[in-house]
Amino acid sequence: MLNLHPFHALRPQPQHFKKWIHGNIKNEFNRDEKPFNFYNLINPSDKKHQQIRERISSYVKQKMLVNDLTPSLYCYRSKHNNDVFEGIIGLLDTKLITNGQIVPHEGVVNTRVSMFKNYLNEVLINTEPILLSHENNDGVNELKNRFFRSEPFAEFEMNDTTHSIWRIEHPTLINQFSRAFNNIKSLLLIDGHHRCYSSLKLSSKIPKYSKMLVCLVSEDQLKIDSFCRLFTDLNKHRPDHFLAQLSSSFNVTRLTTYQKPHDLKSFSMYLENWWYKLYYKSSVDNSKKTLEHLPTQIIYKHLAKPLLGIHDLQKDARISYQYHKDNKKGIEQAVDSKKFKFGIEHFPISLDLVKRCLSEGALLPPKSTYVFPKLLNGLLIYDFKNE
């Protein structure tokens, strides 16, 4: 059973949301303190995490932050031009990870999970919801639309995006949402794998901290783009020898101008001030697992591993993952800065392909997808001590 729990959100007053997230609210109570905003909350001057708890207590005491008096769920919507994303924010039990109802699509680094777990144990807050997607559900949509037709509890505009929040506090409405979500069998973990597993690890140590902050979004709301892969060196290969070796797996064409990848087998590579089109030679083989057809796996198996000697895509410092709104400009700037030797752009991987991989028991290579919406950090805070 999927049970979305309400919680007492820790938050600024509605009129202060924008400044809390992105700016400064003048501290009229203590002029010696840093300006009141989310960044200064989670970045103590001496880097001691216990000061985060002290600062939370100070903000609440001075009524700069408030705790909602009744446990609530929250409808959230972001709108940028024609892109609209809508979700429900609440708490889920970490046991949903172990029983398979929350399905990850990529692996995690255990040292990072332990690091985040220790951080959680010190600060006892979730500030950024883990993004989970579910199949389209008419019951959930109908309930959300009731709120989206009404005035939001808080609304502000930032970076040409309008963010709106509706508070769901009445027990009857919360129960209606709970019943609607009970019809959903599983959730796909979209963003926040390390945060998710650090919450699980903490709950295994301290069972009373068994909840984590999540945002549930219908999968038809998601928009998937791709990370660029940047590499620091050619593993001692000369550029011309590297290109020759690439030609065993790819058709390599030097371009007079940048071209965007047009399908899963095409790649754009920037090396030595030139753009190249790479096209994977392998013919369609329906007997292969879906993973083998993914561009991120092709880069790993036919470039990163055999030519560059990169075996661990999570830990090897010679590969970096970057998202750019303008991939041409972003890759050129990164490589021309001499920090990286070359960069590659691949075609975005659809959600259907992600789900097919998972159904076949395979996790995707790291950073295979860059998924929107990107949730604001610090919008609604889950304070473990309040529940």
Fold classified for 10-224+373-386: 3.90.1530
pLDDT band at 284 (very low <50, low <70, confident <90, very high): low
pLDDT at 344: 98
| Closest C-alpha among 140, 96, 128, 97 to residue 213 | 128
Asked whether the bond before 104 is cis by omega within 30 degrees of 0, the reply is no
Question: For the chain, which residues make up each domain, given as ranges?
Answer: 10-224+373-386, 227-367
Between 270 and 16, name the one with better pLDDT: 270
**Identity (one letter) of the amino acid at 137?**
N
The burial class, CB within 10 Å (0-12 / 13-18 / 19+), for 231 is buried
pLDDT, tens digit, 9 for 90 and up, residues 199-242 = 999 999 999 999 999 999 999 999 999 999 999 999 999 999 99
Domains 10-224+373-386 and 227-367 share a fold: no
**Percent of the chain at pLDDT above 90?**
73
Whether the per-residue pLDDT at 72 is higher than 90: the answer is yes
- H helices of 206-253, where? 239-246
pLDDT at 30: 46
Angle at 337 between CA 331 and CA 338, to 5 degrees: 100
Whether the per-residue pLDDT at 31 is higher than 50: the answer is no
What is the arithmetic mean of pLDDT over 92-105? 95
Whether the per-residue pLDDT at 352 is higher than 60: the answer is yes
Fold classified for 227-367: 3.30.1760
Whether the per-residue pLDDT at 276 is higher than 70: the answer is yes
Scored b (16 or more CB within 10 A) or e, 39-64 reads: ebbbeeeeeeeebbeebbebbeeeeb
